[in-house]
């Protein structure tokens, strides 16, 4: 989720001050990404520094309004029209890393870990389903925005459960074939300053 681009898209609709920007962001995303005020102003400071937003020094009262610049509007257009690229780094979520490490450790019941995670994710899926059903049909653009976010979270939870099912089946089969063995620490000296090498001869 790009907080930076989201702020720019909101500011492209009109000037806002900090707390107002937070309210607009949460209203448009169903309050699923709560922001603290420090995060808001640090993001705004970076946008000002990069020439995408300007402070309105003529603001009256205690609130300082922020306005988008032409460069900021151009970035909004580019963000809205460009696809979101899923990089390898973006897939390094905590659960995948946890299972990847756990499967290499001795004495760890990896199936029990998967089953506990599946139960937790299933509870989340049920809660999201109840939340969506309680909301009824969308009547406003606010409602529609909120339901889009909830749908995304539902699909992610469903996908995680399918992945956990697949992982459990694969690990049980690997254990039966004698493949799920713990990895000892590799004591081979590693030269500092040189990248490790992987299969195929390229850098890691």
Report, at the CATH architecture level, how domain 3-81 is classified.
Orthogonal Bundle (1.10)
pLDDT tens, position by position, 143-199: 888 888 889 889 999 999 999 999 999 888 887 777 766 666 566 775 665 555 444
- Assess whether pLDDT exceeds 50 at residue 202: no
Structure tokens at 79: 């963000």
| Alpha-carbon distance values, 96 to 28, 121, 166 (Å) | 30, 14, 13
Q: Which pLDDT score, from 0 to 100, does residue 204 have? A: 44
Beta-carbon count within 10 A of 25 CB? 20
pLDDT tens, position by position, 54-109: 998 776 667 899 999 999 999 999 988 887 766 555 555 778 878 877 877 778 78
Q: Which pLDDT score, from 0 to 100, does residue 185 have? A: 58
Q: Which pLDDT score, from 0 to 100, does residue 29 have? A: 77
Rounded mean pLDDT, 106-133:
89
Per the CB < 8 A criterion, the answer to whether 48 and 97 are in contact is no
Beta-carbon count within 10 A of 96 CB? 13
Band of pLDDT at residue 203, cut at 50, 70 and 90 = very low
Q: Which pLDDT score, from 0 to 100, does residue 180 have? A: 65
End-to-end CA distance of the chain, in Å?
28
- Assess whether pLDDT exceeds 50 at residue 1: no
């Amino acid at each position: 989720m790009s907080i930076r681009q989201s702020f720019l898209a909101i500011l492209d609709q009109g000037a806002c001050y900090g707390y107002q920007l937070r309210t607009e962001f949460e209203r448009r995303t169903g309050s699923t990404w709560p922001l603290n005020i420090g995060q808001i102003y640090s993001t705004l400071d970076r946008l000002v520094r990069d020439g995408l937003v300007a402070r309105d020094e003529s603001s009256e009262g205690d609130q300082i309004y922020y306005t988008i610049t032409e460069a900021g509007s151009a970035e909004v257009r580019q963000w809205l029209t460009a696809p979101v690229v899923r990089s390898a780094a973006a897939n390094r979520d905590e659960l995948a890393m946890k299972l990847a490490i756990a499967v290499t450790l001795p004495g760890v019941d990896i199936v029990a870990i998967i089953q506990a995670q599946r139960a937790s994710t299933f509870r989340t899926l049920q809660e999201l389903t109840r939340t969506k059903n309680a909301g009824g049909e969308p009547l406003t653009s606010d409602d529609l925005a909120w339901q889009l976010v909830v749908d995304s979270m539902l699909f992610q939870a469903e996908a995680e459960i399918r992945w956990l099912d697949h992982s459990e089946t694969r690990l049980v089969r690997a254990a039966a074939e004698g493949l799920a063995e713990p990895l000892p620490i590799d004591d081979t000296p590693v030269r500092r300053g040189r990248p490790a090498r992987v299969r195929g001869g390229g850098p890691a």
